[in-house]
Amino acid sequence: MTEAERQKRALDDPDLQRVLEELLARDENITARAVTRHHPTLKAASSITRSPARSALLTQYQQRQAEFRRWQRRLSHQAVAKTAAALADKDLRITTLENQVKLLASSHLAMIKVVGELGGFSKWAAFYEHYSAARKQLEALGALQAASIKPLPPNSPPPAEP
């Protein structure tokens, strides 16, 4: 058998190609020993390393595996970076929304106090009468004034207005 025939036969070995593809798909280290462990007829690593055609095929698959692993590392780093950036954006958004809620609550509290001081609190309360859930939330936020009403003693003069 000539060297050319031996190389052609080595390249035509479907079992060798199948084993190399399986190792590549499983991301198992591609070595001559690993191939012989899974190959049905090759029993020694030297059967691969001594044959120039088989050795070249092994090298080709090792290079493909190295390239796949480079891409996997690159993608995982990019995914981590993208996830970290998205998380930072979400944290910033949450902080912004929390600040907006605080601002709205304090401005509404100020508005309710002004309305109450001007004597329009009963109108405001009548408006929110149908919105009991909203009133409860405002009470929970401390946005409604809690005032106790004390009756004036009988026969007392009305308080002087400033």
When the pLDDT of each residue in the chain is averaged and rounded to a whole number, the result is 81
User: DSSP readout, the chain?
Assistant: --HHHHHHHHHT-HHHHHHHHHHHHHT----HHHHHHH-SS--STHHHHSSHHHHHHHHHHHHHHHHHHHHHHHHHHHHHHHHHHHHHHHHHHHHHHHHHHHHHHHHHHHHHHHHHHTT-HHHHHHHGGG-HHHHHHHHHHT-S------PPPTTPPPPPP-
Domain ranges of the chain: 8-71
**pLDDT at 32 (0 to 100):** 94
- Other Cβ atoms less than 10 A from the Cβ of 97: the count is 10
Q: Tell me the average pLDDT across 13-24.
A: 91
What pLDDT sits at residue 31?
95
pLDDT band at 10 (very low <50, low <70, confident <90, very high): low
* pLDDT at residue 132 in the model: 72
Kindly state the average pLDDT of the residues 18-31: 93
Amino acid in the structure at residue 70: R
Q: Evaluate if pTM is beyond 0.85.
A: no
Contact 41, 57 (CB under 8 A): no
* Residue 19 confidence (pLDDT): 93
